[in-house]
Chain A
Amino acid sequence: GAVVSQHPSWVICKSGTSVKIECRSLDFQATTMFWYRQFPKQSLMLMATSNEGSKATYEQGVEKDKFLINHASLTLSTLTVTSAHPEDSSFYICSARDGGPNSPLHFGNGTRLTVT
């Protein structure tokens, strides 16, 4: 089956530094990838939609300059949390789609970010 690999699985960084999270589709080409954020005991909130070769589309309330998304190839999207602060600590999950809007979504295993 389709596999999405997310790296790292967890990361601890100091306040003010930047952190990059990678999302890779291992056995399919992902035309579209999605980035979600999940707070403890809460649901997944869609942050942005990433299309290969174009700018990401951010959901309302998500800071574009804070959460930089790059989808440079059909198998890789990255999320960079810039100038991280403790309130950015969260579980970030990516998902990837290998076709049009009705294609199945495949999820990565998530990245636990802790900002100290």
Chain B
Amino acid sequence: AQSVTQLDSQVPVFEEAPVELRCNYSSSVSVYLFWYVQYPNQGLQLLLKYLSGSTLVKGINGFEAEFNKSQTSFHLRKPSVHISDTAEYFCAVRRYGKLIFGQGTELSVKP
């Protein structure tokens, strides 16, 4: 079975600092991985996805993620965060057409 683990429930960071949100997956088959962002009381917005090809994936809002098969990781990074990046971030894996989400990481950007 496939599952997703987000290692940090909360990540506080100062504005303009770099950030990494960690995600590990477990799977015995090919994986399709996603990162979503959720602002308060809203649905989910796709940041980026890995389906195949280049292991470095660039998404919206300056985010990127790297698929690392040997470490079964798909960490999300941004070199310089803004206050507006404060939100909940979810890593997800697709299994049989369904999305299975990690527990979420609350990113809090402080001035």
Contact = CB atoms under 8 A, between A and B. Distances in A.
Interface of A: 4, 6, 9, 32, 34, 41-44, 46, 49, 91, 93, 95, 97, 100-102, 104-105, 107-110, 112
B89 to A, nearest CB: 11
A101 B30 CA distance: 14
B43 A6 contact: yes
B42 A110 contact: yes
Interface stretch (B16-24, B61-69, B76-84, B97-105): B97-105
Contacts of B103: 42-43
B29 to A, nearest CB: 13
25 contacts: A4-B43, A41-B104, A42-B103, A43-B101, A43-B102, A43-B103, A44-B44, A44-B90, A46-B98, A93-B43, A95-B43, A95-B44, A95-B99, A97-B97, A101-B96, A101-B97, A102-B32, A102-B97, A104-B46, A105-B46, A105-B99, A107-B36, A109-B43, A110-B41, A112-B41
Contact of A43 (B41, B42, B96, B104): B104
Contacts of A32: 97
A4 B94 CA distance: 20
Interface of A is mostly: strand
| Most interface-central of A46, A49, A105, A109 (chain B CB within 10 A) | A105
A97 to B, nearest CB: 7
A18 to B, nearest CB: 23
Contacts of A9: 41
Contacts of A49: 98
A43 B90 CA distance: 8
